[in-house]
Amino acid sequence: MNFDGIWTPLVTPFSKDGSIHFDTVGRTIDKLIDQGVHGLIVGGTTGEYYALSKDERKRLFDYVADHVKGRVPLMAGINATTTDESLELGQHAKAAGFGAILVAAPYYCQPTQDELLAHVQCVDDALGLPIMLYNFPDRTGTPMSFEFINALRDRPNVQAIKESTGSIQRMHTLANEHADQLQLSCGMDDQILEFFVWGARSWVCGASNFLAPEHVALYQACVVERDFVKGRELAARLMPMLNMLENGGKFCQCVKYGCELAGLPVGPARRPLLALDDAEKVEFKRVYDALVAHRA
């Protein structure tokens, strides 16, 4: 499968009573597709998958597949704390029509690399779908070592990796020594220009929920036109926002406020996360306004 493009990990909108607001999911999807994103992910970090029940996650897979109706490719994040639960989620997403899965290390339980390998092999054997690995040890507690990655070489379904460690050295190794094995996807937003220069053609970017045109333009400049001078200009414009998201410690809270500023409110993040306070909103809005001021 070709993973090229801007993949938006969908926010999960919540109503005042705390339930998922499915109408807003649909309106968000339509807006993103109109704005040219290339693929959608349900169950990414931005979607707060860890804060949803298994039933809610399944209902989201069903709703999104039904609403998208094949307009763009869909990837299902199936991370959980056990292999069995990942399998159940993956089977459900596959039956709903998802064409790929995003596979991170099960969180909290901290599997060894051998256990992680057995997990991915089991998911692959059971689901038979294209896999994007998701390496985010800061959140899962478990890294994906190069030994683990090499051990997956004989698995044709393991096709891409979203690298979210922030290690430029690791990104270089993936780009130089694993390009024949894995398509590289950027999961560290403030390093996007570096990823594109080193050959990544895919970006999973939470801020595209509310700034899709800017993300699509940067992809177009770097990946399609190979114009890195223009790309640097566009990346520099986005950088204050990407820095705030990656380094501010309030990723989902900021993305949700960004959606509100962009005219499609999605409610707050689920607790224990809290909405931004007034001072944080003022600072976020300042950065957001400066960015969108460049739109024609």
Minimum distance between the CB of residue 251 and ligand LZUJQKHR, rounded to whole angstroms? Answer: 7
Our CB check for ligand LZUJQKHR shows the closer of 60 and 153 to be: 60
C-alpha pair distances (Å), 228 with each of 96, 111, 204:
39, 40, 19
Minimum distance between the CB of residue 278 and ligand LZUJQKHR, rounded to whole angstroms? Answer: 25
- Please give the span between the terminal C-alpha atoms of the chain, in angstroms, as a whole number: 35
Binding mask 98-137 for ligand LZUJQKHR (x = CB under 6 A): --------------------------------------x-
Return the number of other C-beta atoms located less than 10 Å from residue 143's C-beta: 17
Q: For residue 14, what are the β-bridge partners?
A: 20
Mark whether 94 is an active-site residue. no
Binding mask 35-54 for ligand LZUJQKHR (x = CB under 6 A): ---------xxx--------
Find the residue with minimal CB distance to ligand LZUJQKHR: 44
Binding mask 177-216 for ligand LZUJQKHR (x = CB under 6 A): ----------x-x--------------xxx----------
Our CB check for ligand LZUJQKHR shows the closer of 16 and 60 to be: 60
Mark whether 31 is an active-site residue. no
**187 touches 135 (CB < 8 A):** yes
Q: For residue 76, what are the β-bridge partners?
A: 42, 101
Q: CA angle, 273 as apex, 167 and 268 as ends, to 5°?
A: 110
Query: Which distant-in-sequence residues (6+ apart) come within 8 Å of 88 by Cβ?
Result: 54
Q: What is the DSSP letter of 44?
A: S
The Cα 69–Cα 125 span in angstroms is: 27
The Cα 156–Cα 130 span in angstroms is: 8
Minimum distance between the CB of residue 76 and ligand LZUJQKHR, rounded to whole angstroms? Answer: 12
Q: Which residues are catalytic?
A: 134, 162
Residues lying near ligand LZUJQKHR in the complex (CB under 6 A) are found at: 9, 44-46, 136, 164, 187, 189, 204-206
